[in-house]
Structures are given as C-alpha cells and as structure tokens.
Structure 1
Amino acid sequence: MRTLLARLWRMIEGPLQWRVVRLRNATFMVGVTGVVRDAEGGVLLLEHRFWPEGRRWGLPGGYAKRGETLRETVAREVREETGLEVRVHGLAGLRSGYRLRVEVAYEAEVTGGTLEVDAFEILQARWFPPDALPEGTQEYHRRLVAGAGER
C-alpha cells in the first residue's frame, strides 16, 4: 500500500501535490511585528485602536499577505501604520500564538519618512526609551523590546 501511495504521489507532482498537502494540514495566519528603533535607541510604540482596553500599546505589525516575504511585511506594516520607512534586520522572536497563528518579530531601524499615523487603526505613535515603556504595553512586546523574545 505504501509503495502504491508513493508511486501515485510522484505521478501527480507539482501544483497538485501542494493542493493535497494544503488540504491535509492546518492553515496558519502569520502575524509579523517590527521592533523599530531610532538612532538614539528609542523604540516605536503604537496605541492600537482595536486592541483590548488597558492593553493597547504595542509594536507595529500585521498579517503577511500572499507572496510577501516576512521582512517585506514588516516594512509595509510600519509604512502603512506610521508613514516611516525602515530597514529590517534580524529575527527578534518567533512563537506559535493563539490557535492557528504564528507570530514572527524582526528588529528594524528607521531610515526615513515622516511619523504620521493611520488614524483608522492607530490612536497615537510615540518613541519610548526601552526601560520606560508605557502602562498597557503588551507583555510579549515588552520582552521583544528587551531582546528576550521566544526563538
């Protein structure tokens, strides 16, 4: 039986194999976060409109789009939410999140643009010293800023 399945698998190859794999496995959303720092070492935090009351402060980020690299997602999300351009560096954290979500965080530095928030999603954006983050900052984001994200 296994030999027959292996033979069938090799016969279908390509896109059809990918469809079969996709149907047999869970589909995950990929959330991507940027730990954005300025030249003075400050970290960019946003007060997110749709996050729970009392826990609205956090790093910029969002979900990856089809065909987009995770680094491209960080740059796009920061630009959309704040108007800033960033250079994305190394991995800051990786964890499986709530249900079928994977969360990936990257370090990033500001390279240009003007800070102007997307008023639909973001209430305000501010730079904070890493050791003086505001009350209501997501705990996992505090760990990412401190360099202690899960990997």
Structure 2
Amino acid sequence: MKKIIAKLWRIIRGPMQWRVLWLAHAKFMVGVTGVIRDDQGRVLLLKHRMWPPERPWGLPTGYAVKGEEFPLTIVREVREETGLEVKPGRLVQLTSGYKLRVEVAYEAVCTGGTLKIDTFEILEAQWCSPDSLPDGMQESHRALIHGTTTP
C-alpha cells in the first residue's frame, strides 16, 4: 500500500500535492503577543474589551494576517491598538496545542509614537513595572513578562 501511495504522490506533483496536504492537515490561526518594554523597563499592558471580564489585562496581542511576518504582526497590532511604534526583538515563545491556534510571542521595545488607544478593542493602557502587575491579568502573559516560559 505504501508503494502505491508513494507512486501516486509522485504522479500528482505540484499544486495537487499542496491541495492534498491542505486537506489532510489542521489549519491554524496564529496569535502574536508582544512583551513591549520602554526605556525604564516597564511593560505595556492593555485592558482588553473583548477578553473575559475577570481577566481583562494583558499584553498587546493580535492575529497574523495571511502572508505577514510574525514580528511585524506585533508592530501592526501595537500601532493599531495604542498608536505606539515598536521594534520587535527575540522570539520568547512558540506554542501550539490550542484549538486551531498557534501562539507566538516576541520581546519588543517602544521606539516612539503617542499613546492613543483604540477604544473599540482597548479600554485602558498603562506602563507597569514587572513587579507591580494589575489584578485580573492573564497568567500566561504574567509568565512571559517574568521570562518563566520556554520558546
């Protein structure tokens, strides 16, 4: 049976192979999070309107659009949600296992802009010391801030 499948695979070369692979594998959305720090070492936290009311605080987060490089997703999301400009740094986490979602997190530094929140998605924004994070914060984001996750 394996020989027959291998022979068929060689016969259908090109776009047909990609269609078969697409049908056979899971499709994922990619959520990208940024651990954004300022020059004082504080972290940018957002109170998200769409998140659970008991855990609204977290890092800037959004979904990558088709063809977008993941570090640039956080640049776009931070600009859209806060008006701030950031420069992405190293990858700090890459996780799958969520329902059809992959989570990616990058460190980033604020390089400029004026804080002006998008009130459709964000209720509040604040710079916080890693030692004084607000109640109602996502535990996974708390771990990213403190570097207790593995890439």
TM-score (normalizing by structure 1): 0.94
- Assess if the C-alpha contact under 8 Å between 1:33 and 1:74 holds in 2: yes
- Assess if the C-alpha contact under 8 Å between 1:46 and 1:58 holds in 2: yes
Alignment partner, residue 107 of structure 2: 107
Residues 14-23 or 64-73, more deviating: 14-23
Task: Kindly state the Cα deviation for residue 145 of structure 1 after the two structures are TM-superposed.
Answer: 0.2
The Cα offsets for residues 84-127 of structure 1, whole Å up to 9 and x where unpaired, read as 11110111112225322111100000112111111100001100
Alignment partner, residue 120 of structure 1: 120
Alignment partner, residue 141 of structure 1: 141
The Cα offsets for residues 41-90 of structure 1, whole Å up to 9 and x where unpaired, read as 00000000011112000000111111011111111111111111111011
- Assess if the C-alpha contact under 8 Å between 1:63 and 1:73 holds in 2: yes
Alignment partner, residue 49 of structure 1: 49
Alignment partner, residue 36 of structure 1: 36
For structure 2, the 5+ residue unaligned runs are none
Local SS of the residue matching 2:98: coil
- Assess if the C-alpha contact under 8 Å between 1:61 and 1:77 holds in 2: yes
**Aligned AA for 2:71?**
R
How many positions carry a matched residue from both structures?
151
TM-score (normalizing by structure 2): 0.94
Give me the whole-angstrom Cα distance separating, in 2, the residues matched to 1:15 and 1:112: 44
- Assess if the C-alpha contact under 8 Å between 1:90 and 1:106 holds in 2: yes
Alignment partner, residue 5 of structure 1: 5
Structure 1 segments of 4+ aligned residues over 4 angstroms from their partners: none
- Assess if the C-alpha contact under 8 Å between 1:95 and 1:150 holds in 2: no
Report the RMSD for the aligned CA atoms in angstroms. Answer: 1.2
